Amino acid sequence: MTATSVAPPRPLSAAPPKPVYSENYKRLVLFLLVTAYTLNFIDRTIIATLGQPIKDTLKVTDTQLGLLGGIYFALLYTLLGIPIARLAERFSRVNIIAVSIVIWSGFTALCGVAGSFATLAACRFGVGIGEAGLSPPAHSLISDYYEPKKRASALSVYSFGIPLGAMIGAVAGGLIANTFGWRVAFMVVGLPGVAVAIALKLLVKEPPRGHSEPISPPLGEMSPPGSAKGRPEDKLRDRGGLAAGQGQDQTAEVRAAPAYSLAREVKELGAVIGLLFGRWPVLNMVLGITLVSFGNYGGGQFVPPYFVRAFHLNIGQVGLIVGLAQGLSQGLGTLIGGPLTDRLSKLSPRWYALAPAIGVALAYPAYVAVYNAGSWQAAAGFLLLPGLLSYIYLAPTFGVVQNMAPTHQRATASAILLFFLNLIALGGGPPFTGWVIDHFSAFHYAHASAGTIWDAISGFFGSRPADFQAACPGGKAAAGAAAAAKAACSGALVLGTRHGIIVAYAFSLWGAFHYLLGSFGLAKAMAKARADRGEGD
Question: Measuring CA to CA, which residue among 500, 520, 510 is closest to residue 360?
Answer: 510
* 41-72 residue pLDDT tens: 888 878 888 888 888 888 888 888 888 888 88
Find out whether 406 and 533 touch, Cβ atoms under 8 Å.
Answer: yes
- Give the span between the Cα atoms of 213 and 316, in whole angstroms: 47
Residue 14 has pLDDT above 50, yes or no: no
Q: What is residue 222's predicted lDDT score, i.e. its pLDDT?
A: 38
Instruction: Give yes or no for residue 250 having a pLDDT over 90.
Output: no
What local confidence, expressed as pLDDT, does residue 537 receive? 55
What domains can you pick out in the chain, each with its CATH number?
Answer: 23-206+271-438+505-532 (1.20.1250.20)
Tell me the one-letter amino acid at 259: A
Tell me the per-residue pLDDT of 154-181, one tens digit each, with 9 for 90 and over.
887 888 888 888 888 888 888 898 888 8
Amino acid letter at 305? P
Average pLDDT over residues 524-533: 80
Mean pLDDT of all residues in 292-310: 92
pLDDT at 213: 66
CA-wise closest residue to 507 among 300, 369, 328? 300
Examine the pLDDT at 264 and tell me if it is beyond 80: no
Calculate helix-pair angle for 23-49, 193-203, nearest 10 degrees: 160
pLDDT of residue 239: 40
Q: Give residue 217's pLDDT.
A: 43
Mean pLDDT of the region 254-259? 52
Of the listed ranges 296-300, 327-331, 465-469, the one predicted with least confidence: 327-331
How confident is the model over 85-90, as a mean pLDDT?
81
Mean per-residue pLDDT for 263-277? 81
Q: How far, in Å, CA of 309 to CA of 475, rounded?
A: 9
CA distances from 166 to 117, 301, 390, 476 (A): 23, 11, 16, 27
Distance of alpha carbon 392 from alpha carbon 415, whole angstroms: 21
The pTM of the full predicted model, rounded to 2 decimals, is: 0.72
Q: What average pLDDT score do residues 443-472 get?
A: 91
| Of 199, 142, 189, 194, nearest in space to 165 by CA | 189
Instruction: Answer for the pair 407, 533: CB distance below 8 angstroms, yes or no.
Output: yes
Euclidean distance between CA atoms 340 and 351, whole angstroms: 9
Position 88 scores a pLDDT of 81
Share of the chain above pLDDT 90, in %: 30
Q: What letter does residue 15 receive in the DSSP assignment? A: P
What per-residue confidence (pLDDT) applies to 258?
59
pLDDT band at 533 (very low <50, low <70, confident <90, very high): low
φ/ψ region of 245 (left if φ > 0, alpha if ψ in -120 to 50, else beta) reads: left
What average pLDDT does the chain have? 82
Residue 516: pLDDT above 50?
yes
Instruction: State phi, psi for 125 to the nearest 5 degrees.
Output: -60, -40
Q: Is residue 212 very low, low, confident or very high in pLDDT (cuts 50, 70, 90)?
A: low
> Is the model's pLDDT at 210 over the cut of 80?
no
